[in-house]
């Protein structure tokens, strides 16, 4: 069964906005069908029919949704195991994040710091008190995957808090 990642800010998510028009349309149709059925897994045959895409076009758009983490294979019993890589937000109600264990989080932080060369990606400060920031905050549907994490100095991370990058930069233009 293919699960569909739904969250409140999905239409304005930069990752979704950067997808092709066909993948974006497919996501919108899948969102509508899943919302209508109050589930996280739309009937993909219905999505394919409503999209009007050829089989090849549908598969290309579907593959794009998978590669962007909007759709993934699995079933409910695996959701907890997959939560770090494919965090799901409930469609109806507040977002509950499956935060990684302390040891897993330490490993993730180390990997992100090393990837970013121990430098704050917002202001360029190297070393010092570094934190691992969620670019799209958990409160706004972001996950714990590497593409949503970045190295941030204490000052930048604490001032950003749960704001989106655009919101934060509008308040702190000298930093961003």
DSSP 95-142: ----PPPHHHHHHHHHHHHHHTTTB-TTT--BSSSEEEEESS-GGGT-
Query: Considering the entire predicted model, what is its pTM?
Result: 0.45
Residue 108 CA from chain centroid, whole number:
16
8 A C-beta contact, residue 62 and residue 26: yes
| Structural domains of the chain in order of their starting residue, each with its CATH number | 2-82 (no CATH), 102-171 (1.10.30.50)
**pLDDT tens across 126-147, in order?**
988 999 999 888 777 788 888 8
**pLDDT tens across 87-123, in order?**
444 433 333 446 677 788 888 899 999 999 999 999 9
**pLDDT tens across 48-57, in order?**
899 999 988 8
8 A C-beta contact, residue 119 and residue 112: no
Could you tell me which residues are beta bridge partners of residue 71?
4
């Amino acid at each position: 069964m293919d699960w569909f990642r739904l969250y409140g800010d999905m239409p304005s998510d930069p990752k979704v906005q950067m997808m092709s028009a066909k993948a974006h349309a497919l996501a919108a149709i899948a969102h509508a069908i899943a919302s209508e059925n109050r589930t996280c897994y739309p009937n993909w045959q219905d999505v394919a029919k409503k999209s009007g895409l050829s089989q090849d076009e549908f598969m290309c758009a579907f593959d794009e949704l998978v590669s962007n983490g909007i759709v993934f294979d699995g079933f409910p019993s695996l959701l907890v195991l997959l939560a770090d890589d494919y965090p799901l937000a409930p469609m109806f109600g507040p977002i509950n994040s499956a935060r990684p264990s302390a040891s897993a989080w330490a490993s993730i932080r180390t990997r992100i710091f090393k990837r970013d060369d121990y430098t704050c990606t917002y202001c360029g400060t190297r070393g010092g008190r570094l934190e691992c920031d969620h670019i799209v905050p958990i409160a706004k549907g972001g996950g714990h995957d590497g593409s949503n994490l970045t190295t941030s100095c204490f000052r930048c991370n604490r001032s950003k808090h749960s704001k989106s990058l655009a919101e934060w930069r509008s308040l702190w233009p000298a930093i961003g």
